[in-house]
Amino acid sequence: MKEEQIVFGLGSNKGNRAEFLKKAQLLLVDEIGDFISASSVYQTAAWGFIGADFYNQVLILNTRFSAQVCLEKGQMIEKKLGRTEKTHDQKYADRNIDIDILFYGDQVIQLAHLMIPHPKIKERIFVLAPLNELIPQFAHPIHQKQISELFQECQDSSEIIKLNEQI
């Protein structure tokens, strides 16, 4: 299989959030592929539920694994870091770590358990801000707009704070 660029969205709002992001990043590199880049860390209010503020970050790797294998490895890492439940029926809850695949190259994958690009990217400023930092010219394979355009058009007015913490 040829190498593909995979873009992950990471989030944490329980415990030592910065440490969970750092551990997730290290485990993803160990399990999935070569590190390309990581965005700054952004702090935002919980999205879709009342909870502690999240730390969010985007991570880009090169991988030789399929998107399905990357999903399985990401879920294994979530469990390793203490995540006990996944979101079901739009019911969100606090979590040590959340690992989402945002993009897998420019591929569109629509399966019951895996949708790439992540279907809510254009609705979430906490995803678009770090994406815009790293890959502003990348064209969303479904919306056919650059990340910078989606960032500018995003209707999510949540406050987002770029943190100085390097992870």
Which amino acid, 71? L
Neighbours of 94 (CB within 10 A): 14
Read off the pTM: 0.92
Q: Which of 7-16, 45-54, 102-111 has the lowest mean pLDDT?
A: 45-54
> For residue 89, is pLDDT > 70?
no
pLDDT at residue 165 in the model: 60
pLDDT at residue 88 in the model: 44
Q: Are 163 and 41 in contact (CB under 8 A)?
A: yes
Closest CA to 60 of 112, 4, 12, 123: 4
Residue 1 binned pLDDT confidence (cut-offs 50, 70, 90):
low
Region 156-162: what's the mean pLDDT? 92
pLDDT, mean over the chain: 91
In angstroms, the CA 134 to CA 58 distance is 8
